[in-house]
Structure formats: structure tokens, C-alpha cells
Structure 1
Amino acid sequence: MLNFDEQRFLRIQSGAVALRQRLDEVIASCLEKGAENIFFLGTGGAAILMQPAAQLLQRRSRFPVFIDLPAELVVTGSANLMARSIIVIPSLSGTTKESVAFLAKAKEVGATVLTLVGHQETPLGKGGDHAFVNFAEDDTSCESFYMQSLFIALSIMRHRGEIENYDQVVRELEALPRLLLEVKRSYEEKAEDFARILAGADYHIITGAGNAWPEAFYYGMCILEEMQWIRTRPVHASDFFHGTLELVEKDVSVVLFKGEDSLRPLADRLEAFARNYTDRLTVLDTAEFALPGISAEVRGLVSPIVLATVLERISAHLEVMRNHPLTTRRYYKRVAY
């Protein structure tokens, strides 16, 4: 595979899976001590990657869950942020300034802070009450963060008696790193063709529904915009028919990510519409990838993880095709802001 280290990928994703038991123990302890809610409070891309786990809890658990912006909470606070809150702060670098600033506020109220970081010796790596460290870099962080946050959500449901097949689900998830590697291998020949579509336009409407939507949002903002300087319009499939549809015409690129959760019909609806009005609809569908031993239920849970692992292959080809390395920036961590 182009510019890809298979053993490194397996090591990083297996590292995320290896954190499951300790995450479960910490969540159990928090609930035993009377935790009343949980906040997922990342900044930028890391925040987006927490959305599927938050959605899972919102729809299948009665445990209150909040997802907000640390930069705003530092200014406004929250009536729901209290000593009995669990706070999850993901940051690959461990140095994200908005998240570091919020950490101090969380400490003031006495909340229990779980940090998910790639580096221990950082403000967030050292500042959390419970730091979960799994080294990763931009090309491997999505799957890692998705899995860690999913384990947190499943643990809450387990200890509240809101999931009956927890053991089965986590057994399947533990097999995911090697399955994802096979997904990458199976898609490699097609990745260049998809990259050519992305390179062939300077504007894309990028969309999805359910837990595929956060990956559409993330890929549009953090990869195509930040790392490739390609203009995108990320829009949720539920919002597409309330504004963005008017921008669709023959030569407009629409990129649709389809997952396998219960909200897939929303993506089907959008696909049916777009096929009638543009000749530049591109669909990336997780249902096309083999995941031996993974049940339909778990396939639905891991759709954003599968999308992320395929999109990494597309990005690897895209940066070579455009002669624009994914590490190139004009402003991000280059200038004061």
C-alpha cells in the first residue's frame, strides 16, 4: 500500500483496544461514586470524533450526555458541569490550548477528567485525573479516538444495565484492528480513483447521516480544507433538503458517506435525489466492505471507523496526486491566532 506501514497501524489500533478494560474500570468507579452526567469536550477534529459515542448514549441510554465546545465553556460555564460530572477530553497532541484552558475550569468544579492523548508528557497527558495514552499520528488517530470513545459509551451502558450483549460487542470490537487492515488492502486499488475525483474539483458538498455524518464533517473540515486547501460544504443529510439542495446542478460534486446504522435511509434519500441532478455524485458505502465475524449491530456501530480507515487510503493518494503533503499548513500552528 502507498506510503503505509501495516505494523504501525496494527500497533496503534491494538493500543486503542487495549485501553478498553481500564476505561471500563474508571467508568465503573465514577458511576459507583455517583456520577450524574458525562461531557465529551474535544476541540476541532478530536471533538467531532466524539460525536458517534455521544449519539449512542443520547439514543440508547438515559444517562445525561453533553457535547460542547471547551472554548465556549471557559467563557460561559454550564449549569450541568459539576463535581459529579465525567469529562472526556481528547487531544492527540495533548497540548490543544482551548482544551488545556478548559482543564483548569474542570479542576475548579471538581469534575473527574479523563484525557485521551497521544503523548503522556503534555499538559493534558499529565493533567487528567485518568490519562489514557495511545501514541498515534494524524493518519491513525481517527480510528483510535472513535474506538476509545465507543468503549466509554458502551461501559456506561453496561454498568447501568442498558446493554445486554456487552461482552459480545467488545469481543467483536477487539478483532477490528486486523479487519481494518484487510479493508485497507481491499480498497487500495480503488483509492486512487476516489482521490482523482476529490482532486478534480475545487468545491465539494460532503454529506452523511447518523454516525457516518461526523466522519463527513471531519473529512471535509480537517482533511480536505485544513490539509489540502480544498473548499468543502459539509452538511448533514437531514439538513441537505433545507438549503444546500439548491446548490446541486450538473457539474457540482456531491460526496456521500453511507454507514450501516438505523439512519441509513436518510442517506438513501439524499442519494436518490442527487442522482437526478448531478453527474458528479460519489458514494463511499461501508456496506461494501467485508468484516468477517462482525454482526450487523456492531457493523452499525463501527461505520465511522470503517469510513476513516478507507479515507486514509484515499488521502494517501490525494496528497501525492496534488503534490500537497498532508502536513503542509499556512496558518495552523504556524502563526499566532
Structure 2
Amino acid sequence: MLNFDKDRFIRIQSGAVAIAEEVRPLIRDLLGKGIERLYFMGTGGVQLLTLPAVDLIRQASNFPVDACYPAQVVLDPPAGLDDKALVVIPSLSGTTREGVELLKFLNERGVTTLSLTGHAETPLAREASYTYTNFAEDDTSSESFYLQTLVIALALLDEIGAISDYEAVLAELKIMPELLAAAKESYEPEAAKLAEAIKDEPYHIFTAAGSAWPEAHYYGMCILEEMQWIRTRPVHAADFFHGTLELVEPGVSVFLLKGEDVLRPLGERAERFAHRYTDKVRVLDAAGVALPGISPRVRALVSPAVLATLLQRVSAHLEVLRDHPLTTRRYYKRVEY
């Protein structure tokens, strides 16, 4: 496989699931101390990776949960951001400017914080109330954050009595790192073909629904736009028919990501439409990935990570074919803004 270290990948994703050993007792302790609200506050793409966990909590319970932009919070904080709130701050680098400013703001207000970073000895790792550092880099961070935030959501739901299958779900999550690696290997030939097919495309529409939507948004914005300078239009499948459909015509590239949750039909509706009006419809379907030992319940939960793991292989080939390393930037962390 092109530029892929299987052992490293499995080690990083196993580390993401392993935080469960500490997260569950931590959540229990914080609830006992009066925590009544949960916020996820990441900057950029990493915030998108938390959204499946946010939606899971909303769907399974009445526990107050929200996702907020750090840069917005420090200017206009939501009500309830006090000593009864827990704020989860994910940041791969642990140095994200907006995240560091947010943490200072929250510490001054006495808010309990939990940082998720890929690097220790960084401001967000050192100065949060609690921290979990699971080393990762760009090519492994999506799956890692999906899994870590899923574990946090499951631990909360278990502690408040909203689910009864925590142990069973966690047991399945523990075998996911190896299964994700196997999925990469199986998809490699198709990833190479897809990268070849799109390497000269100037523009893509990305759409999805349910837990697959954050990954569609993430891949368009953070990988193709930021890392490859390719224009994209991410649009939720529920909104596809309220504007974006008018941009579909022969030659327009439409990417559809399909998960395995109850909102899958929304994406399939967009898929049927796109096939009628353009010859460039690309579908990535989590349901087509072999995950032996994983129940339908858990397959629905891990669909975003599965899609991310396939798309990473596309990225690995795309950067070579386009002679444009994924680390190349013009502005991001290069100039003052």
C-alpha cells in the first residue's frame, strides 16, 4: 500500500478506543459532582468529527449537549457555560489558537474542561482540567477523534441510564482498529482508480446525511480545499434539493457518502437525482465494507470512521498524482490572520 504503516495505524486507533478505561469513571465522577451540560468545542475540521457523538447523545437522551465554535464562544458565550458544564476541546496539535484562547476563557469562568490532543506537552494538554493525549497525525486523526468522541458519548449515555449495551458496544469497538486497517487494504485498488479519475477535477459537490454528513463536509473542506486547493460544495442531503440541485449538470462531479443509520434514504434520494443529470457520480458506501464481528447497531455508529478510512487512501494517491503534498499550505499557519 502506498505510504501506509499498518502497525502505526492500528496502534493509534487502539489508543483512541482505550481511553474508555478512564473516560467512564471520569464521566461518573463529574456527574456526581454536578455536571449537567456537555459541550464539544473544536476548531475547523476537528469540530466536524465530534458531530456524530453530539447527535448520538441527542437521539438517545435528553441530556443537554451542544457543539460550538471556540472563536464565537469567547465573544458570545452560550447560557449555561458555568461550573455545571463540561467542555470537550479536541485539537490534534494541542496548540490551535482558537482552542487555546477558549481554554483560557473557560478556566477563568470555572468551567470543567477535557482536552483531546494528539500531542502531549502542549497548551491544551497541560492546562485543561482533564486531558487525553493519543498521538496521531493528519493521516490517522479522523478515525481517532471519531472513536474518542464516540467513547465519551457512550460513557455518558451509559452513566445516565440511556443505554444498556455499553460493554457490548465497547467490545466491538476494540476490534475496529484491525478492521479499519483491513478496509484500507481492500479498498486500495479502488482508491487508486478514484484518485486517478478525479485528479484533474476542478470542483466537487459533496453530500451525505446522518452520521456520514460530517465526513462529507470534512473531506471537502479540510482535505480537498485546504490540503489540495480544490473547490468543493459540501451540502447536507436534506438541503440538496433546496439550491444545490441546480448546479448539477453533465460533467459536474458529485460525491455521495452513505452511512448505515436511519437517515441513509436522504442520501439515496440525492444519489438517484445525480445519476439522472451528471455522468460523474462517486459513491462511497460504508455498508459495502466488510466488518466481521460488528453488529448492525455498531456499524451505524462507526460509519463515519469507516468512510474516513477509505477516503484517506484516496488522499494518499491524490497527493502523489497531483504532485501536491497534503502538508502544503499557502496561508494556514503560514501568514498572520
TM interval, shorter chain, is: over 0.9
Q: State the Cα distance separating 1:200 from its structure 2 match.
A: 3.1
In 2, the alpha carbon distance for the partners of 1:295 and 1:114 equals 30
User: SS at the partner of 1:170?
Assistant: helix
CA deviation string 1:14-33 (max 9, x = no partner): 11111111111111111111
Partner AA of 1:165 in structure 2 = D
CA deviation string 1:269-320 (max 9, x = no partner): 1111111111111100011110000000100000000001111111000000
Equivalent positions of 1:14-25 (< 5 A) are: 14-25=14-25
User: SS at the partner of 2:233?
Assistant: strand
CA deviation string 1:64-83 (max 9, x = no partner): 00101000110112212111
Equivalent positions of 1:6-17 (< 5 A) are: 6-17=6-17
CA deviation string 1:232-272 (max 9, x = no partner): 00000011010000000111100000000111010111111
In 2, the alpha carbon distance for the partners of 1:197 and 1:128 equals 44
CA deviation string 1:109-150 (max 9, x = no partner): 211100000111110010111110000000000010000000
The residue that corresponds to 2:241 in the other structure is 241
The residue that corresponds to 1:138 in the other structure is 138
Identity %: 58
Partner AA of 2:327 in structure 1 = T
Equivalent positions of 1:14-93 (< 5 A) are: 14-93=14-93
Over 6 Å off, 4+ runs: none
Equivalent positions of 1:178-189 (< 5 A) are: 178-189=178-189
The answer to whether the aligner puts 1:124 opposite 2:124 as a matched pair is: yes
The residue that corresponds to 2:330 in the other structure is 330
In 1, the alpha carbon distance for the partners of 2:165 and 2:197 equals 41
Q: State the Cα distance separating 1:59 from its structure 2 match.
A: 1.2
Task: Could you tell me which runs of 5 or more consecutive residues in structure 2 were left unpaired when the two chains were aligned.
Answer: none
The residue that corresponds to 2:95 in the other structure is 95
CA deviation string 1:168-212 (max 9, x = no partner): 111000110001011011001111111123313100001110000
Q: State the Cα distance separating 1:100 from its structure 2 match.
A: 0.5
The residue that corresponds to 1:290 in the other structure is 290
Equivalent positions of 1:233-312 (< 5 A) are: 233-312=233-312
Task: Could you tell me which runs of 5 or more consecutive residues in structure 1 were left unpaired when the two chains were aligned.
Answer: none
In 1, the alpha carbon distance for the partners of 2:198 and 2:43 equals 26
The residue that corresponds to 2:173 in the other structure is 173
Partner AA of 2:336 in structure 1 = A
In 1, the alpha carbon distance for the partners of 2:235 and 2:256 equals 10
In 2, the alpha carbon distance for the partners of 1:15 and 1:77 equals 33
The answer to whether the aligner puts 1:107 opposite 2:103 as a matched pair is: no
In 1, the alpha carbon distance for the partners of 2:229 and 2:324 equals 9
Partner AA of 1:154 in structure 2 = L
User: SS at the partner of 1:38?
Assistant: strand
In 2, the alpha carbon distance for the partners of 1:52 and 1:197 equals 30
TM-score (normalised: structure 1): 0.99
Aligned length: 337
Partner AA of 1:32 in structure 2 = G
The residue that corresponds to 2:219 in the other structure is 219
CA deviation string 1:52-101 (max 9, x = no partner): 00011111111000101000110112212111101000000000010110
User: SS at the partner of 1:53?
Assistant: helix
Partner AA of 1:316 in structure 2 = A
Deviates more, 1:190-199 or 1:6-15: 190-199
The answer to whether the aligner puts 1:208 opposite 2:173 as a matched pair is: no
Deviates more, 1:103-112 or 1:133-142: 103-112
TM-score (normalised: structure 2): 0.99
User: SS at the partner of 1:251?
Assistant: coil
Partner AA of 1:236 in structure 2 = H
